Every structure is written in structure tokens, then in C-alpha cells.
Amino acid sequence: MKTAVYYNNNDIRIEERPEPQLIIGEILVKMKASGICGTDLMEWYRIKKAPRILGHEMTGEVVDSKSDKFKVGERVFVSHHVPCNTCKHCLSGNHTACETLHKGNYDPGGFSEYIRIPEINVDNGTYLLPENVTYEEGTMIEPLACVVRAQRMIDVREGHTVLVMGSGISGLLNIAVARSKKARVIATDINEFRLDKAREFGADEVFNANEELGIKADRIIMCTGAMPAFEAAFRYIDRKGRIMLFAIPNKNILIPVEDFWRNELSIVSSYGAAPVDLKEALELIKNRTINVRDMITDRVKLEDIQKGFKIAGGAGNSLKVVVVP
């Protein structure tokens, strides 16, 4: 079978690998769509484990099953990271801190013709796609679930002023979810195309990130790794405000400790999504509460994945790039 093996952002090779063999409890999925995530583009982070097959926003068709839970022909979304549901973190509701979640994955990765889904992923991370949700829309379940979780962690709610810094795909999802909670949403970026999209997906106001904003926000959601944005966030956060590190820079952040202390600020990070978040995200897409379809701007074949990485990493008129067979 064909796989896309990541060596670095500019070296992704199509290689032949044997089709995975199943054991009891597992299923084999034929990839129908697999999204390129912003974290896939974080070369400084990804290259540590290269070469490897990436892809964790995957939907497909079950083509072989040794599980009683799923049948051949069913359409599914599969989460790559799943919790054990038995450790102290899971039992306290902090599933994304679970060691099993951090170590697990499917075999070999979503950028592959076929993917073996281990039994724990079958049991805790595989979801039937509703008839009205396409394979491509299904690739947005995981990124939307990460947003759902992040905003729950900082308690975004009606009446809040929420500043979303960075209006790429993660920024747009955060804008849409915050708007659905009836918050006032302000968005920034340096790309005019993305600022237009921020308006389209619900931002009340948009600003070029190079401008100085005369605002104080209750919540700030960082959706860019640009260091100037992190420095600006401390100027824009109101007292008792919370800053969500949805994206991170490639170096440490300097915190103004006096403001942090006197104004009782909070900085929170969010990694991944738990099953409850995935289920909520699937419902938001199914019910058309969040319009993910129009966020998908580019599609590339598996053989052209290098082109997809170039598009996703560029600053052009692109939002979400999805790999298809």
C-alpha cells in the first residue's frame, strides 16, 4: 500500500509498505480523507521522531473487521489518541493527561491508503459518521473537538469579550465556537484573506495584528506561534482574564510577573481532545451549528501530499488542506 513518510516539511516521500494485518478486536480502514493539521507543519516538533507517517484527522471506510462493534462498509472517523479510562487522570475527568492517550496512535498513520485501528482505538475512539456528514467534513471533528475542550477549560460564555489571535483554521474554529456561545469575538491576523474569513465565520471585529488594539479582553485564545502576538496578549488581557495557549511558539514565553500577580491573570494550555469533546464536535457538525464545510479550501491526492504541505504552510488563500486517496 502507498504511504506518505515524513522526513521533514520539504521531504515527504511516497513509499510502499505492507498492508497491516489485524488481530481480534481491530478493524482496517481505507482512508477517504485525512486533514493536514497545523501541528503537522511544526517541523521543530515533528522532526524529532522522523521518519514517520503522520495524519491524525482521518475518516474512511471499514474494509475488514475483527471487532463486533463495526462492520465492513461502515463510514467512520477515528481518533488517533484515546485514553485508558482507568488511570487517576481519566477518573478525575482529565483524559488528555492520560499517559495512554499521549502514547497511543493508529497504524501507520492517516496519510496512508489503509490504517489498522488497535482495539483500544476501536473501543474508545471510533465513531460512525452520520449520513449528512461527508468524509471531508469528518476530518474536522478532531480539530473542532480540541477547540471545544479549550474553550470549556477557560469557560468562554455569553457576555465575554474573546480575542482570537491568529485567524488560520484553528482561529476560525475558535471564532465560530465562541460566537455560538454568544461571546463578543475580536480576531487578528496579518493576512487580509484570513481577516475576511474571520468576519465570515462570526468575528464581530477584525484587526491587522500589526495594529495596536485599544481593548481589554476577558479571554484570549492564541492561535498563532508568532512571538509578537504572545507579547501583545499581556497588553490586551483584562484583570482576572485567562489566556489560552491553543498554539505555542518554538521558544519560551517571557511572562510579565508583576501584571500576572497584581491582575490575577491565568495562562492555560490545552492539548488534544477527550471522547466527550469528540462527541460534542461531531454533534456540532452534524447539526450544522458550526460550518466546517466552507473551511476546507484545498484537496490533494496522497501522491501530492508534498504540495499539500506547501499550501498549508504558505500564507496564501488557503485554510484547510485535506488529503484524499
> 207 and 257 in one domain?
yes
Query: What pLDDT, on the 0 to 100 scale, is given for residue 114?
Result: 98
Quick: pLDDT tens for 262-320: 999 999 999 999 999 999 999 999 999 999 999 999 999 999 999 999 999 887 889 99
> 232 and 208 in one domain?
yes
Phi, psi of 134 (to 5 degrees): -75, 165
pLDDT higher than threshold 80 for residue 57: yes
At residue 104 the predicted structure's pLDDT band, cuts being 50, 70 and 90, is confident
Question: How much is the pTM?
Answer: 0.95
Average pLDDT of 88-106?
94
**217: which strand partners?**
237
Query: What pLDDT, on the 0 to 100 scale, is given for residue 160?
Result: 98
Pinpoint the alpha helices (H) of 3-77.
43-46
Mean pLDDT (the chain, rounded) = 95
CB burial of residue 259 (10 Å; 0-12, 13-18, 19+) = middle
> 236 and 123 in one domain?
no
Tell which residue, 216, 164, 219, 155, has the closest CA to residue 195.
164
Query: What pLDDT, on the 0 to 100 scale, is given for residue 38?
Result: 86
Concatenating the DSSP letter of every residue in 265-293 gives -EEEE--S--HHHHHHHHHHHHTTSS--G
> 88 and 171 in one domain?
no
Range of the domain at 128: 2-140+292-324
| CATH number of the domain residue 175 falls in | 3.40.50.720
CA 174, 179, 184: angle at the middle one, nearest 5? 105
Query: What pLDDT, on the 0 to 100 scale, is given for residue 240?
Result: 97
> 52 and 103 in one domain?
yes
Query: What pLDDT, on the 0 to 100 scale, is given for residue 49?
Result: 86
Phi, psi of 71 (to 5 degrees): -110, 155
Quick: pLDDT tens for 115-165: 999 999 999 999 999 999 999 999 999 999 999 999 999 999 999 999 999
CA dihedral 72, 308, 80, 291 (to 10 degrees): -80
Average pLDDT of 242-265?
92
As a whole number of angstroms, the distance between CA 303 and CA 46 comes to 20
CB-based contact 6:103 (threshold 8 Å): no
> What percentage of residues in the chain have a pLDDT greater than 90?
90
Give the list of residues 6+ apart from residue 48 with CB closer than 8 angstroms, or none: none
* C-alpha cell belonging to residue 206: 477584525
* C-alpha cell belonging to residue 12: 515527504
Query: What pLDDT, on the 0 to 100 scale, is given for residue 193?
Result: 95
Residue 284 maps to a domain: no
* C-alpha cell belonging to residue 15: 513509499
Residue 90 maps to a domain: yes
> 21 and 127 in one domain?
yes
User: How long is the chain?
Assistant: 325
CB-based contact 49:57 (threshold 8 Å): no
Residue 278 maps to a domain: no
Residue 187 maps to a domain: yes
**Angle between the N-to-C axes of helices 192-200 and 169-180, in degrees from 0 to 180, rounded to the nearest 10:** 20
CB burial of residue 309 (10 Å; 0-12, 13-18, 19+) = buried
Residue 279 maps to a domain: no
As a whole number of angstroms, the distance between CA 247 and CA 307 comes to 24
> 26 and 96 in one domain?
yes
pLDDT higher than threshold 90 for residue 177: yes
**114: which strand partners?**
30
CB-based contact 56:109 (threshold 8 Å): yes
> 127 and 164 in one domain?
no
CB-based contact 117:28 (threshold 8 Å): yes
Cα–chain center distance at 231 = 24
> 73 and 183 in one domain?
no
**30: which strand partners?**
61, 114
> 130 and 10 in one domain?
yes
Give the list of residues 6+ apart from residue 30 with CB closer than 8 angstroms, or none: 60, 61, 63, 113, 114, 325
At residue 39 the predicted structure's pLDDT band, cuts being 50, 70 and 90, is confident
Structural domain tally of the chain?
A: 2
pLDDT higher than threshold 90 for residue 43: no
CB-based contact 29:63 (threshold 8 Å): yes
Residue 275 maps to a domain: no
pLDDT higher than threshold 80 for residue 60: yes
Query: What pLDDT, on the 0 to 100 scale, is given for residue 316?
Result: 81
| CATH number of the domain residue 46 falls in | 3.90.180.10
Residue 281 maps to a domain: no
At residue 194 the predicted structure's pLDDT band, cuts being 50, 70 and 90, is very high
Residue 38 maps to a domain: yes
The least confident of 170-184, 251-265, 278-292 is 251-265
> 136 and 6 in one domain?
yes
> 298 and 174 in one domain?
no
